[in-house]
Structures are given as structure tokens and as C-alpha cells.
Amino acid sequence: MKTPPCLLFATLLFWGWQSGMLLVGALAGLVLEAAWVFKWRWDLEDVDFNRIWSFCFLVLVALSGYIFSTNDEGGGLSGMVHGRTVHNATISSTVTYTTVMRSLPLIFFPFIVAQIYNVRSSVPLTAVSLVLRWRRRRGERSLAGHYLDVSYPYFIVCVFAAGIHPNQATHTYFWGQCVLILWALWMLRARRFGLKHWAIAFAAVVALGFLGQFGISQAERMVQNFNAQWMARLFGPKTDAAQSVTAIGQIGRLKLSPRIVIRLEPRKVGVVPGYLREASYRTYSSRNQTWFAGGSLNDFSSVHQEPDNITWVLLPRADADAVSIACYLNGRSQDGDHEGVLPLPTGCSRLENLPAETSVIALQTNKMGTVLATGSGLMIFDARYGRSATIDSPPDITSTNNDLTVITNEIPALNQVIAEMNLTATNDAENLFAVERFFASKFSYSTWQGPAKRATNASPVTRFLLNSRSGHCEYFATATVLLLRQLGIPARYAVGYSVHETSGSGYVVRERDAHAWCLAWNRATRTWDDFDTTPGSWMAIEGRQSAFADWLSDARSWIGFQIAKLRWRQAHLRQYILWTLSPVLAVLVYYIIFQRRTKARPSKSNAAMEAAVIWPGHDSAFYRLEKRLAAGELPRPPGEPLADWLERALAEPALASLRRPLQELLQLHYRYRFDPNGLNDREQEILVQKVDGVLATLSQK
């Protein structure tokens, strides 16, 4: 071991402290440092190091696989296929990475122990590199004899592992690793420079390191604070039934990912809902550009499954149209179950083929048409829907914040627009038509919002209506809702997805298809109708952003979807993975341990084939004698010739009297075995008789 005494102990202790495994770190360190006290050593060969390294590596791979496939924090396989937010898609890799990296010192502990307690305190280079091992196996002799001391690399691994998720508030990690590195480098310093130079250089490096990590964390904080709202939108995954924070008023480009989040399969060809609504909202706050469901209408009430346990009735009627929907639930309930808002077609009356208990634990609805499900991470069900009443409550025009409320500071702009529209119609339908035409002719779709040209106190919606006349769906939906209300038509703000992209026999909905529109109250049919004023070009504009490599992510998403289907239909997947992994690991471990034997087998069988050539004299009677003597305390090592062995045997006082007959027997036996002329029949008989005689004498003794 080249590292100075106690350095590895201190490093492992530090690692244990930083990663919450103080006891483990201390024990591991003690095991390593005990090598300074105990002088016994193993005599491991290169091939043993190969095996130990392979074992450590396998543990690493298996651990990564296990953690990745089973970590549930919005990650794992479901996280990979969710694709709903950047956060969820990367979290599983992050969790796996951090856990595995933090465990590196433990994973490679057997390897360092093997080196430290080996006679030669270094490991063969071929052990740590599969490429080199392969080249060695191909017969490149030049690679033999290259050895490496891994105690310093192990030290670096420990320091690195301790630095995974350090406590940034106290800087203990930074100063701790500085001390350890100082200690390690002190032993390795070049002696031709004075102590002063060395100290200055080290201090400079520490200062740079401190400033660097301080700077990075500052920059990180700055980016995070740059647009907290926007970040919250991007990283806050789930649709909230109580409120919808819009991107209205934000400057810059709105980006949404092309990941597939919902898959639809129409029960009848071509009949597919245009919108999948997740939630609707009543009250708009221009202060923070947020829509609220508001008041008691947001209170949820449970829906109970029908006796068949797979049907959930939202409205008591039988609709003809049906669509199969697969979506993910990526929120969390208080109990830790998956929870989320179901995207449903307008006028959805019942959910079918949705098993209670295994898929859904609870289903709740509110008066805003939101259906909240708790259960497994993936929901696959059939939704029946029709163009009639919805589960939404009828318009509320009595309370203070009702479906006709318009915030006062938007009223001047709305009135100006109404005047511009020059409305003459008397009924709602014509008014709606006029509004739609007005938006289609005077407004354009854009995900880009520039800063206001001159300083103004006008709200973003006012600016949208009067100045920019360009924006994304949230502008259109918000403005339309307010405009309709100003015109006396009850309206609500709805969020969900637009369905327009086919894929095979079904449809896929991407994250960028997320949409906002408005619900307008139809006094004639007494229903809430979807009313969308966003120019139809928005889909084309969003689609244009689709990257060339989208098909790759689509393929990944499809595979992930199949895996998720498997996963959520199997409640015990985690155990299955463990059970599947263990035999695989066992087989690999077996392979590693017995690799030499299996590799040697072909040559052995070669040898066996040659051994089939039976050498003369194999049936010599002398072997009985040898067996008899070897059965006592005189076993013969494979490399010892019979004559030497016999000499050893005759040193026993009990056999001294048999010296002469035994030596004669050996001569005969040798002639029988190794003289190409061999023994004649008579001599063979003599050999047998003499052996019998000596055996008889031996048994008498």
C-alpha cells in the first residue's frame, strides 16, 4: 500500500460521515488499515484479481439496474416513459447515478482489500481493463507484468463518492476533501521545490476551487430565480384542479417538449374527441396571471365503481362514442400513491375497463368537470362521451366571483374590442361566431412574447387585446373568456390537450399539444360547449418545432409505454425484478469463479482424448501397494516420482525391513511401465506375487 498510514481510514471515515454511513466507513477503514498491523498476506494470482474485479463490476451493474428499474420517485421505468416533464424524465437517472456513485467505495472494497492483503501490493493492469484482458488473451505478451497500485485511485473514488450531494450550507465537504488531498499530496510532493512553493501552489488551487464551486452554486441559484414562475411551470408537472398558473405576461419563447403523454385508440374509426380536458377554472387573477377554480366548486366528491368493479359512472346515461385512453398519473397523494387529473373528452359520462383496486384506488370529481384519480402510475380505460350535459355545474351567476365576473382593470380594453367588433347580433350563437371571426382575422399565434415597446401599466391581457394581438393559447383562452363574460355569456377557462396527431390506428398526444381554450355556456342546450379562438395554425407552428430525431424519442416512448403497461399490471414488479436479477447474478458469479475451469475444459478434453491412449503398464500390481501405503500417512504429490516417494516411505522404521523387496518391486514396476520392451508373462506373474507378499507382510504389521 503506497498511501500513507491512516489516509484511507480517514478518507473512508469522511465518506461515511458525508453519506450517512459513518459506521460502515469506519469499519471499512479499519479493515484496510489493519494491514499495517497484521503481516499475513494472501498469494493471489492475476486471474484471481480478474475475478474480483469482474465481481465488483457486476455488483455495480446489477445495483445500477436494480435502482434504476425500481426507484419510484417519479423516476424508474415509469419516469422514463412519462415524458411529461423534464424533471420526471431525468430524476430516475439522477437517483440511480447518485446512489451508485455514493456506494462506489463499498462496491470496490473487495478489490482494494485483495490488493492490500496480497503479497504483491499492486494489481495487474489486465484486471481493471476488459480491453487489455482481451488483448492479453489474444496472446499479446507485452501486457503481462504491468502492475498498478490502486490505493490512490481508491482514495480518489472515496473522495469523489463523499462529494455526491454534499451539505452546501456548511462547506464541510469542501474543507474535508481539501485536508485529505493535502495529506495525500504531501506524501507525493516533489522534493526539489521548497515547502513555500508547494504551500503557495496548494493554497492557490484551494482558493480557485472554492471560488469555482461558490461561483457555480451562485450561478445555479441565479438561474433558478431568473423566472421562478416559468420554472415552476416546467418543473411542476401536474395539472392542479384548484389553479392554473399561466405563462401570460412572460417574455421569451414558450417551449414544450414533443414527448408523448397520452395515447388514444378510438373505438369507432375516425370518431375521436378534438379536446381532452383536464380541468376548468372560473376566476382569473390578473395580478399573478393565474386561473382559480375557486370556492366550494373545487371540492371533490368520490365516485364509486359499479358492481362489475371496472365501470365508473360519471353521468347516468348511455353514450355511443367511446375512446380508449392511456395516460400517466404523475402526482402524488398524501399516502404516496400516484394521483393525477384524467384527460377526458368533453361530455364524458362513464369510464369503462378501469379495474378498481388494481388500477384505481379512488376516483373523485368536482363541479368544474375535473376527474381526479388515485392509483397506479399508468391508467388505461375506455371513456364514453356524448354531446350533451357534462359533469360541470351550471353557470353560477349569483356569487361574487361567478361565471360572468370580469376583473375591472380589463374592462376598458374589453369594451374597446367589443366596440371594434361592431356587434349587432342579438343571440349568443352569433356573438360567439363574431368573436371567433374577430380573433381569427385580427390575431396571430405566436409562442414568442417581446417586451412592451414602451413602459405601460396595462395588463398583459390588455396589451394582447389592443397592441400585440399575438400570443399563445393561454392569451386567446383568457381573453376570450373575459370577452364572452363581458358580452354576458357565462364562460370558463379550460386546460387539457388537443388531439390531432394520428399514429397507427390511434392518436398520440404530445406534451406540446397541451392547450387552453374556453367553455361557453349554451343557453339553448344548457351545456358547456368547447369554444376555441386560438388560430388553427398553432398546431402547425408547434409541429414545426418537432426535431428530426423525434421518431427516436417516439420509439423510446412506445417501448416505455409497453414496459409501463407491464409494470402497472403487475403489482409485484419490484420483487420480480429482484428475483430475475438474482439468478442472473448467480450465473455470472458462477461464471467468474469457475471461468478458469470452464476455459480449461476444452484442453482438458483434449488431454482426456490423448489419455485415452492407454500407456503400457497401467494395470501394474504395484499400484495396489502404492494405494495401501498412500492410505496411511504417505500420500504422493502428483509431481513426485515413485522412487523418491518410496525412499520417503522407507524412512519409516516400520517399513525398514521391507526395503529390499520394495526396491525390487519398484524396479520391476518401472520395467513394466517405462521399458518399451516391457515384462514377459513370467515376470508379470512375479510382480503380482511379490506385491501380494509385501501386502500380506504389511497387513500382518
Cβ proximity to another protein: between 362 and 665 the closer is 665
What residues between 590 and 649 interact with another protein by CB under 8 A? 615-616, 626, 636-644
Cβ proximity to another protein: between 101 and 630 the closer is 630
Query: Least distance from C-beta 29 to another protein, angstroms?
Result: 29
Please give the angle made by the CA atoms of 358, 361 and 367, to the nearest 5 degrees. 140
Cα–Cα distances (Å) from 133 to 49, 111, 129, 443, 496, in that order, read 11, 17, 6, 68, 56
Cβ proximity to another protein: between 186 and 674 the closer is 674
Per CB under 8 A, the list member of 231, 402, 670, 684 interacting with another protein is 670
Burial annotation 259-290 (CB, 10 A radius, 16+ → b, else e): bbbbbbbbeeeeebbebbbbbbbbbbebeebb
Query: Least distance from C-beta 648 to another protein, angstroms?
Result: 13
Q: CB of 542 within 8 A of CB of 513?
A: yes
Site membership for another protein, residue 147 (CB under 8 A) = yes
Site membership for another protein, residue 196 (CB under 8 A) = no
Query: Least distance from C-beta 626 to another protein, angstroms?
Result: 7
Contacting range for another protein; rule: CB under 8 A; set: 219-227, 308-316, 425-433, 673-681: 673-681
Cell of 146: 504491468
Q: CB of 107 within 8 A of CB of 143?
A: no
The partner residues of 324 in beta bridges, in order of sequence, read 265, 382
Contacts of 331 (CB under 8 A, 6+ apart): 237, 238, 338, 339, 340
Query: Least distance from C-beta 132 to another protein, angstroms?
Result: 15
Cβ proximity to another protein: between 146 and 442 the closer is 146
Q: CB of 241 within 8 A of CB of 368?
A: yes
What residues between 45 and 104 interact with another protein by CB under 8 A? 45-46
Q: Please measure the distance between the N-terminal and C-terminal CA atoms of the chain and give it in whole angstroms.
A: 57
Cβ proximity to another protein: between 644 and 683 the closer is 644
- Residue 368 main-chain phi, psi, to 5 deg: -95, 15
Cβ proximity to another protein: between 145 and 536 the closer is 145
Closest by Cα among 77, 63, 68, 87 to 568: 77
Per CB under 8 A, the list member of 39, 138, 141, 660 interacting with another protein is 141
Q: CB of 564 within 8 A of CB of 81?
A: yes
Contacting range for another protein; rule: CB under 8 A; set: 137-145, 180-188, 319-327, 381-389: 137-145
Query: Least distance from C-beta 654 to another protein, angstroms?
Result: 22
Contacting range for another protein; rule: CB under 8 A; set: 139-147, 332-340, 571-579, 652-660: 139-147
Cβ proximity to another protein: between 450 and 641 the closer is 641
What residues between 27 and 56 interact with another protein by CB under 8 A? 45-46
For the chain, the 3-state helix, strand and coil shares in percent, each to the nearest 5, are 50, 15, 35
Query: Least distance from C-beta 6 to another protein, angstroms?
Result: 27
Site membership for another protein, residue 674 (CB under 8 A) = yes
Closest by Cα among 322, 314, 298 to 492: 298
Query: Least distance from C-beta 643 to another protein, angstroms?
Result: 5
Burial annotation 587-621 (CB, 10 A radius, 16+ → b, else e): ebeeebeeeeeeeeeeeeeeeeeeeeeeeebeebb
Query: Least distance from C-beta 627 to another protein, angstroms?
Result: 12
Contacting range for another protein; rule: CB under 8 A; set: 141-149, 257-265, 285-293, 589-597: 141-149
Sheet strands (E) in 348-490: 348-352, 360-365, 371-375, 378-385, 444-445, 448-449, 470-471
Per CB under 8 A, the list member of 233, 469, 624, 671 interacting with another protein is 671
Query: Least distance from C-beta 145 to another protein, angstroms?
Result: 4
Binding site for another protein (CB under 8 A): 45-46, 120, 141, 144-147, 615-616, 626, 636-644, 670-671, 673-677
